[in-house]
Amino acid sequence: MEQATATGTFPIERVRAQFPLLEREVNGVPVAYLDSGASSERVLASIEAVADYERRHHSNVHRGSHTLSAEATAAYEGARDIVARHIGAGDRREVIFVRNATEALNLVARAWGDANVGAGDRIVITEMEHHSNLVPWQQLAERVGAEIDWAPVDERGLLDLDALRGLLERGPKLLAVAHVSNVLGTENPLAAISAMAHEAGAIVVADGAQAAPKLPLDVAALGVDFYAITGHKLYAPTGIGALWGKLDLLRAMPPFLGGGSMIRKVSREGTTYADVPARFEAGTPAIAQAIGMGAALEWLDDELGMEAVRNHERAIADYTLARLAEVPGLTVFGPPRGPERLGPVSFEIDGIHAHDVSEILDRHGVAVRAGHHCAQVLMERLGIAATARASFGVYTTPAEIDRLVDGLEDARRVFGL
């Protein structure tokens, strides 16, 4: 059955049937999982791909010449091909498997940053960055004596591009920018931002953790230099993510971690390193998780298509903003309904702290996140300590948003508002 209301002709029932967890009840009712921005639920194709590797093919990659190792290697490297295709990488060697987006960004900060950023150099970070694309740059700045400039967010929750242009005129080495904000749901105009940064001589390190589950991606068209994604927000397992980087930049970077797999030749005198991506994948990788990530992306790309996924995300964000506007005393943080507005939708209600909002919603089986969302610089900019946040996945329905609104009405009742 297709759903023709808020989300067009998206095959929502067919999609939901692929997520076993959605059968789960919480507090006596089916869970309305509105926390996919923290971690999305797992698609059956990915769960089964992991189980198949564990049951039938488990062995190490790039090691033995035996059949199982060859199968494991083919599946692991096949996952790399799928990730490359999903993000529009021109060359599969540009995809490095890591634990998560945080590790991807730390890898860039350590390997590229330590080699290219020095005392007195400038780094631009936007105020809407998740701590994962913020703390590594602060650490880099402390290590080498670089200076940080903060690109401001305006009153609507959009990046102030004029102010950013002004900061770029100071000649920073790099710009750290989220593709989609994990708090505001803003889609930043990454291609235009990259062009501005490159004109100023800065490289662009983009955090795609929130964008990759929602948008068709083409890293070449976006013009960025590095792009970080994480599997567990893409219907795949935890413990796996990917860093995409331009081949020439990656090849010029020294290794981040040393160990097995990343070497060409080791002797007592020293070691020469393997080419990318192996140079950055020291030790036995998260083989099962990479295979699970590949299967999830293949499902997204082949069964749904990312254009349809984007349209669904926009429709749900739009519907949520419309419904939340009906709740008295509720303030939404982030841009109004419009083309650059995706999920998540963060909000606060006068007189009820976000923790209490989420506690009461949980009684209704509605799962949202409450807190600072690992974006304390942005929270300070907004002048708040915490928000409640509803975030969406391919399985989110308008009926679940209705349950969110009903739960908020109950929270107001409990607090005597």
Partner 1 sequence: MDELYRDQILEHYKRPHNFGVVEDADLEYEDTNPFCGDEQHVTIKLDADDRVTEVAFEGKGCAISTASTSLLTDELVGKTREELLRLPKEYVLELLGIDISATRMKCAMLGLKIVKSAALGQPAEWEDEGEAGNPAEAATL
Segment interacting with partner 1 (CB under 8 A) among 10-18, 33-41, 300-308, 355-363: 355-363
- Specify whether the backbone of 365 is left (phi greater than 0), alpha (psi in -120 to 50) or beta: left
* Residue 236 per-residue DSSP state: S
Nearer Cβ to partner 1, position 12 or 357?
Answer: 357
Q: Three-state SS for 346?
A: strand
Nearer Cβ to partner 1, position 67 or 376?
Answer: 376
d(CA 38, CA 68): 35
- Specify whether the backbone of 145 is left (phi greater than 0), alpha (psi in -120 to 50) or beta: left
Least Å distance, CB 359 to partner 1, is 7
356 binds partner 1 per the rule CB under 8 A: yes
Nearer Cβ to partner 1, position 237 or 365?
Answer: 365
**Active-site residue (options: 263, 374, 384, 405):** 374
354 binds partner 1 per the rule CB under 8 A: yes
* 349 phi/psi in degrees, rounded to 5: -120, 130
270 binds partner 1 per the rule CB under 8 A: no
Contact 215, 306 (CB under 8 A): yes
131 binds partner 1 per the rule CB under 8 A: no
What amino acid is encoded at 333 in this protein?
Answer: F
Least Å distance, CB 27 to partner 1, is 12
Q: Three-state SS for 16?
A: helix
Nearer Cβ to partner 1, position 305 or 351?
Answer: 351
Least Å distance, CB 392 to partner 1, is 22
Nearer Cβ to partner 1, position 91 or 406?
Answer: 406
Residues 359-388 interacting with partner 1 (rule: CB under 8 A): 359-360, 370-372, 376, 379, 385-386
d(CA 389, CA 375): 13
Nearer Cβ to partner 1, position 286 or 382?
Answer: 382
d(CA 283, CA 262): 8
What are 2's two structure tokens? 């297709």
Residues 167-226 interacting with partner 1 (rule: CB under 8 A): none
Least Å distance, CB 171 to partner 1, is 34
Which residue, 223, 232, 192, 230, is CA-closest to 208? 230
Least Å distance, CB 283 to partner 1, is 30
Interface characters, 385-404, with partner 1 (x: CB under 8 A): xx------------------
R_g over Cα of the chain: 22
Q: How far is CA 123 from CA 91, 198, 248, 280, in A?
A: 28, 14, 21, 24
Least Å distance, CB 372 to partner 1, is 4
138 binds partner 1 per the rule CB under 8 A: no
Least Å distance, CB 360 to partner 1, is 8
Q: Select from 351, 399, 402, 406 the one that contacts partner 1 (CB under 8 A).
A: 351
Nearer Cβ to partner 1, position 273 or 415?
Answer: 415
62 binds partner 1 per the rule CB under 8 A: no
Segment interacting with partner 1 (CB under 8 A) among 14-22, 183-191, 303-311, 352-360: 352-360
Least Å distance, CB 414 to partner 1, is 5
d(CA 148, CA 124): 6
Known active-site residue 374? yes
- Residue carrying structure tokens 């599969």: 92
d(CA 239, CA 51): 16
Q: Select from 264, 355, 399, 402 the one that contacts partner 1 (CB under 8 A).
A: 355
Contact 169, 151 (CB under 8 A): no
Nearer Cβ to partner 1, position 167 or 352?
Answer: 352
d(CA 334, CA 345): 7
What are 209's two structure tokens? 């953790």
Beta bridge partners of residue 178, listed in sequence order? 207
- Residues forming contacts to partner 1 in the complex (CB under 8 A) are 351-356, 359-360, 370-372, 376, 379, 385-386, 414-416
Active site residues: 374
